[in-house]
Structure 1
Amino acid sequence: MNSPAGSPFALPPLALYIHIPWCVRKCPYCDFNSHAAGPNLPEDEYVAALLADLDQDLAQAQGRQLTSIFFGGGTPSLFSAKALGQILEGVERRIGFAGDIEITLEANPGTFEQAKFSAYRRLGINRLSIGVQSFQSAQLKALGRIHDGDEAIRAADMARAAGFDNFNLDLMHGLPGQDVTAALDDLRTAIAQAPTHLSWYQLTMEPNTVFWNQPPELPEDDTLWDIQEAGQVLLAEHGYQQYETSAYARDNHRARHNLNYWTFGDFLGIGAGAHAKLSDANGQIRRSWKTRLPKDYLDSGKAFQAGERLLSADELPFEFLMNALRLTEGVPTQLFCQRTGLSEQSLAEGRRLAEQQGLLENDPARLCATPRGQLFLNDLLQSFLP
């Protein structure tokens, strides 16, 4: 597949997602592939499996260096600095890192130890994403979290003391029984910790979770709307620019790994249940996923990859836009052509429908949701279904 100008398809940037599937306790709202850890984590076995998994995927890097790495989970900060160091050394030896690579580690406040996090920083991990969710004891208990509000504040202090000048706080709103005042108190506490990035998003009920089967009483829609509006004003007043549906950053601290997802870059995925999206030199794009259960993933007699799917040309507009239109500023139309190998004409009918509904900006040079389109993103994407 070639670009509309006839030039060869250009491979996008390459990132790596590393999934660590264990956590101290499974939270009732969580639908991620996470499993309660036993008394002894199989660190050595899992590190060996991750690198063997990567070995099977190396050809798909196609000579590209990694622009970002993200350790997600579960709770990756349950792993020792030694184990994470072995992973990073093995990855760099196999693929290589861009000079300005962003390396993010997800961490929960209940797992913070000063010496451990200082060691993480010395490994080259240069960004933390701390899963706070709330600072209020009653809310944290309802969410099944293992930390309290004071521990969450100490976690931010320890991150700075360990040398992390770039860290994200994950914070939820629309929690059981939460009103506007309580939601904004949480947000003010988060802002007071001076993170460079905030992920501020509404609690949702996901299938296959405890909350799905035993739903708590959540705020009414009018309250949720009031929380969203007031919170966005508060974030803007403190210099946090919204650049994605639930992501807010201070200057030059947007999450580069996530931006790669949203701009339809390529990413390798290793670890139990990890997903990947990869392009080849002919412009064919595949999504793939790994064996989900840790015990199966660690069984060396089984293949790591559980399945894959080649995206058809008809699917690509929707696949591209369900990511790109989450960005408040949208993306240049030309990026669609570069990432998919398709022409602008393949978007024409969808654009016409979305613009007529007032969901997409009427700007041929950009693909950008209107304010209404950002509120009704699912309706906007319906215009681009194959």
Structure 2
Amino acid sequence: MPLLAPPLSLYVHMPWCVKKCPYCDFNSHGLRGEPPPYERYVDLLLADLDADRADFAAALHGRSVHSIFFGGGTPSLFAPELIARFLDGVRERLPLAQDAEITLETNPGTVEHGRFDGYLAAGVNRLSFGIQSFDDDKLRRLGRIHSAGEAEAAVKSAQDAGYANINLDLMYALPEQTLEGALDDVARAVALAPTHISHYQLTLEPNTAFAANPPPLPDDDHAWAMQEACEQALAAAGYGQYEISAYAQPGRRCAHNLNYWRFGDYLGIGAGAHGKLSDAATGEVRRRWKTRHPRAWMEAAAGPGRIGGDQAVDAAELPFEYMLNALRLVDGVPMAEFEARTGLPAGRIAPALARCRERGWLADNPALLHTTGLGQRFLNDVIAAFLD
């Protein structure tokens, strides 16, 4: 099957945050001593982009960027002027779709109204607030630097500045959280009328403070009850679930994350950023990731030392790589899309599909890869069925 180039996105990693949260396993680094070299970092982001453009010139030829996502860390530590400088640099280097979605992650404790005005003027048209909870006790236990009142004020300030596309991140199954507490968090989020809500279960990730000293978390049955009840509350409020942890008002699904979940392409620049690129001419899918520590990445500048790893995805691994994201989508994905984005025939995964359908994990539809309700609950097992 021919490999077709999917939509292209750009992920930009901003690695610093005010304080590392005890549950966080992202490549984030708390502020210590001297302020980080924000301006130099932005200049090196553009140098990193230039180097990737040169390395992948053939695969990028004629392609536009459809979404940009500033993740972290806390990207809102960077002044609007620096975000504007970076986005101007991107426009000089790559075609940017006229309706490109440009998202900036923000911590409610690091922004004020003037910055929202500046980010909007710079071209950021979507904000994602890391709220996590509206319970001040839970926020303290999660190590967050904001209060519930500050979170609500920050969202309203962004709306007053003109933002009409806002995501709120919420967690559930928090330390000693009750079902009523989880539902109250959802109700307070909905009251702010964001266009999108991401609702994640708190999990203990390796190499985090919570993994070393686990807090008392709800058991699996209580966590599942919270998930089901919150799904129903979000649906009743007009937020349709389109991915395991993502809920949106009509027409407000996150384009950037959808591109990930549908095995789209993305350049990843900045310390520890990951990227994935398809080359239709060679039929190759490559993954590249950057050196993780900000200081080491910056010292390497645009040289080869900025690259932490670079490899083609083996054909035997492509089905698992594809399903790892695509099966998270509630509506499923067309089988034809699997073929176009992996270059593999559907017959390659026929045995795994048959096993999953026999167990009731996948709908019996040869044209659609679609998990059933049971498959959603046992998604890790479904995905594992596609390991070579």
1:258 corresponds in structure 2 to 257
1:142 corresponds in structure 2 to 141
Alpha-carbon distance in 2 for matches of 1:329, 1:192 = 27
1:28 corresponds in structure 2 to 22
Alpha-carbon distance in 1 for matches of 2:349, 2:158 = 45
> C-alpha displacement at 1:145, in angstroms?
0.3
Matched to 2:345, the amino acid is S
Q: Deviations over 1:212-238 (max 9, x none)?
A: 000000012222122111111101100
Alpha-carbon distance in 2 for matches of 1:339, 1:85 = 33
1:318 corresponds in structure 2 to 320
From 363, 366, 369, the equivalent of 1:364 is 366
Matched to 1:307, the amino acid is G
2:49 corresponds in structure 1 to 54
Alpha-carbon distance in 2 for matches of 1:378, 1:144 = 29
Matched, 1:296 2:296: yes
2:176 corresponds in structure 1 to 177
Q: What are the within-5 Å matches in structure 2 for residues 147-166 of structure 1?
A: 147-166=146-165
> C-alpha displacement at 1:81, in angstroms?
0.8
Alpha-carbon distance in 2 for matches of 1:341, 1:200 = 33
Matched to 2:315, the amino acid is A
Alpha-carbon distance in 2 for matches of 1:174, 1:106 = 23
Matched to 2:128, the amino acid is S
Matched to 1:317, the amino acid is P
Q: Deviations over 1:260-290 (max 9, x none)?
A: 0000000000000000011112220011100
Alpha-carbon distance in 1 for matches of 2:300, 2:308 = 14
Q: What are the within-5 Å matches in structure 2 for residues 1-386 of structure 1?
A: 2-3=1-2, 9-38=3-32, 39-58=34-53, 59=57, 60-281=59-280, 282-300=282-300, 302=303, 303-386=305-388
Q: In the alignment, is the contact (CA less than 8 A) between 1:174 and 1:224 conserved in 2?
A: yes
Q: In the alignment, is the contact (CA less than 8 A) between 2:166 and 2:196 conserved in 1?
A: yes
Secondary structure of 1:57's counterpart equals helix
Q: Deviations over 1:105-155 (max 9, x none)?
A: 000100121001111001110000000000111000000000000001011
Q: In the alignment, is the contact (CA less than 8 A) between 1:132 and 1:171 conserved in 2?
A: yes
Matched to 2:185, the amino acid is D
Matched to 2:18, the amino acid is V
Alpha-carbon distance in 2 for matches of 1:62, 1:347 = 31
Q: In the alignment, is the contact (CA less than 8 A) between 2:168 and 2:189 conserved in 1?
A: yes
Alpha-carbon distance in 1 for matches of 2:358, 2:275 = 35
Alpha-carbon distance in 2 for matches of 1:213, 1:62 = 47
Alpha-carbon distance in 2 for matches of 1:62, 1:308 = 20
Please say which of residues 55-64 and 163-172 is displaced more in the overlay.
55-64
> Structure 1 runs of 4+ off > 4 angstroms?
none
Alpha-carbon distance in 2 for matches of 1:161, 1:291 = 39
Alpha-carbon distance in 2 for matches of 1:43, 1:147 = 23
Gaps of 5+ in 1: 4-8
Q: In the alignment, is the contact (CA less than 8 A) between 1:61 and 1:95 conserved in 2?
A: no
Q: In the alignment, is the contact (CA less than 8 A) between 2:81 and 2:122 conserved in 1?
A: no
Alpha-carbon distance in 1 for matches of 2:311, 2:322 = 15
Matched to 2:299, the amino acid is D
Secondary structure of 2:310's counterpart equals strand
**Percent of paired sites with the same residue:** 53
Secondary structure of 2:299's counterpart equals coil
Secondary structure of 1:346's counterpart equals helix
Alpha-carbon distance in 1 for matches of 2:60, 2:73 = 26
Alpha-carbon distance in 1 for matches of 2:124, 2:90 = 13
Alpha-carbon distance in 2 for matches of 1:64, 1:37 = 37
Count of aligned pairs: 380
Gaps of 5+ in 2: none
Q: In the alignment, is the contact (CA less than 8 A) between 2:263 and 2:326 conserved in 1?
A: yes
1:6 corresponds in structure 2 to none
